[in-house]
Structure 1
């Protein structure tokens, strides 16, 4: 896991639900550092630096496109 790099950081667990589904569907290797810790204590998110999405460097461009697409298309009403 040492070769995995952080590509994005999130503050709360609910922000990663859709992204997890997409990454699993695409077969991309990933893990969310601090996910369970922040799920237990959401106010600790800022103290721990948030939930970090870690991916293998070979998947960087593909995941960046997914993140860009989500940022452009998901709208909270």
Structure 2
């Protein structure tokens, strides 16, 4: 876990649902730090710095591409 880096931060649990599915499908190891805390108390997101996506540095380029594709193609209203 000490080798993992934070690549993205989210404010709410619903923002990570699609991303979790994609990362699982691709077989990329990840951790969403503070996910359970924010799911039980959404206002704690601001106090704890949000939900942080942590990945291994070797997967940085692949995950960044996935995040870019989601930002360009997935518009949540």
C-alpha distance in structure 2 between counterparts of 1:76 and 1:39, whole Å: 19
**TM-score of the aligned structures, taking structure 2 as reference length:** 0.98
Instruction: Report the Cα offset of residue 11 of structure 1.
Output: 0.2
Which stretches of structure 1, 4 residues or longer, exceed 4 Å deviation after superposition? none
Residue number in structure 1 paired with 2:60: 60
Residues 1:18 and 2:18 aligned together: yes
**TM-score of the aligned structures, taking structure 1 as reference length:** 0.98
Instruction: Report the Cα offset of residue 76 of structure 1.
Output: 2.4
Instruction: Report the Cα offset of residue 51 of structure 1.
Output: 0.1
Specify the SS of the correspondent of 2:28: coil
Runs of 5+ consecutive residues of structure 2 not aligned to the other structure: none
Runs of 5+ consecutive residues of structure 1 not aligned to the other structure: none
C-alpha distance in structure 1 between counterparts of 2:32 and 2:5, whole Å: 11
